Amino acid sequence: MIKSMKQMAVITLALALGLALGLAWAAPAALAAGELDKIKAAGKIRIGVYSDKPPFGYVDANGVNQGYDVYLAKRLAKDLLGDESKVEFVLVEAANRMEVLESNKVDLVLANFTVTADRAKQVDFCKPYMKVALGVVSPAKAPITDVAQLKGQTLIVNKGTTAEIYFAKNHPEVTLSKYDQNTEAFNALRDGRGVALAHDNTLVFAWINENPGFVAGIDFLGDLDSIAPAVKKGNNELLEWVNNEIVTLGQENFFHKDYEATLRPVYGDTIDPETVVIEGGVLK
């Protein structure tokens, strides 16, 4: 019986494998049509956004996507497809923002994506709509105000972020403790698993506004970077459309409206919008 069972096993596995391959080949291959036409034909644009990075991209208590990036995403959908609801939000992480574009899982990524030369080798960035530098947040009782204080100490960063890259490259004397999620990283800071946490200053401002025991001892570090939408490498049609859109939106001060709607409630009135917002895609 074992022998016949073995034969059965071989046959069943062969069938399962054949079925899987068959399904794989039956999947429609990507059409070579224009990228914009494809989106229009689909009736929706797929945009990769964060689901847990308030105030840029998050899911609110009712399960609805919100934030500075989402505000722009909805407007792009409205201008391209005539209805701001014609956007499918795909949840992305810092760690898979490149992959979702390279593998066609989304048309556009609006996930607080800082433009860097390395990233630009893998994806194409549109004109920027926000600017950012690094901020270092530490407990008010033991503030870190200078990078020199971090020597030999543990600094908390998120994997794949500008902060990690900057410190790994420029300050190898600082021990980095790396986390996947912002939640975990900030919890690590609260628990004292590092003397400070480095992240985009835009996020740091938001967090200390709600956490009085902490200060942004260093509020500007590294280069002034820009944040931009990203498309798949070579998707020039969508790239140009988004670029034109950003210029046009600048004429109506769209990104200041976006700031008022999504960022001011979180930053409070102490932060000048001009330190964050870029209008018309021109970094000043």
Partner 1 sequence: MESAISIFLEGRNLARLMEGVWITLKISAASVLLSVVFGLLVGLLMISRKPALQAATRFYLEAIRVMPILVLLYMFYYLPDKNWGLHFEAQTVAIGVFTLWGTAEMADLVRGALTSMPAHQRESGRAIGLTEGQVNRYIIIPQAVRRLIPGVINLTTRMIKTTPFIYFISVPELLKVGQQIVEISGMKNNMASFWVYGFIFFLYFLMCYPISCFSAYLEKKWQN
Interface residues with partner 1 (CB under 8 A) are 1-2, 5-6, 8-10, 12-13, 16, 24, 27, 29-30, 51-54, 58-63, 90-93, 95-96, 99-100, 102-105, 181-183, 186-187, 190, 206-207, 209-211, 266
Report in angstroms how near the CB of residue 210 gets to partner 1 at its nearest.
4
Q: Is-contact 208 137, C-beta < 8 A? A: yes
Closer residue to partner 1 in complex, CB, 202/226: 202
Report in angstroms how near the CB of residue 118 gets to partner 1 at its nearest.
18
Q: Which of 44, 61, 41, 43 lies closest to 52 in space, CA to CA?
A: 61
Which strands, in side-by-side order, build the sheet including 57-59? Answer: 52-53, 57-59, 65-66
Closer residue to partner 1 in complex, CB, 101/227: 101
Q: Is-contact 228 111, C-beta < 8 A? A: no
- Helix, strand, or coil here: 167? helix
Count other Cβ atoms within 10 Å, centred on residue 261.
Answer: 14
Report in angstroms how near the CB of residue 126 gets to partner 1 at its nearest.
21
Report in angstroms how near the CB of residue 13 gets to partner 1 at its nearest.
6
Closer residue to partner 1 in complex, CB, 91/165: 91
Cβ burial of 194 (10 Å; 0-12, 13-18, 19+) is buried
Token pair belonging to 67: 């934030």
Closer residue to partner 1 in complex, CB, 98/228: 98
Closer residue to partner 1 in complex, CB, 65/149: 65
Token pair belonging to 247: 């210029």
H helix or E strand, kind and range, residue 104: none
Report in angstroms how near the CB of residue 93 gets to partner 1 at its nearest.
6
Closer residue to partner 1 in complex, CB, 29/148: 29
Measured in residues, the chain has a length of 284
Closer residue to partner 1 in complex, CB, 210/223: 210
Residue 87 CA to residue 77 CA, distance in Å, equals: 6
Report in angstroms how near the CB of residue 51 gets to partner 1 at its nearest.
5
Report how far apart the first and last C-alpha atoms of the chain are (Å, whole number): 78
Report in angstroms how near the CB of residue 163 gets to partner 1 at its nearest.
18
Token pair belonging to 51: 């689901």
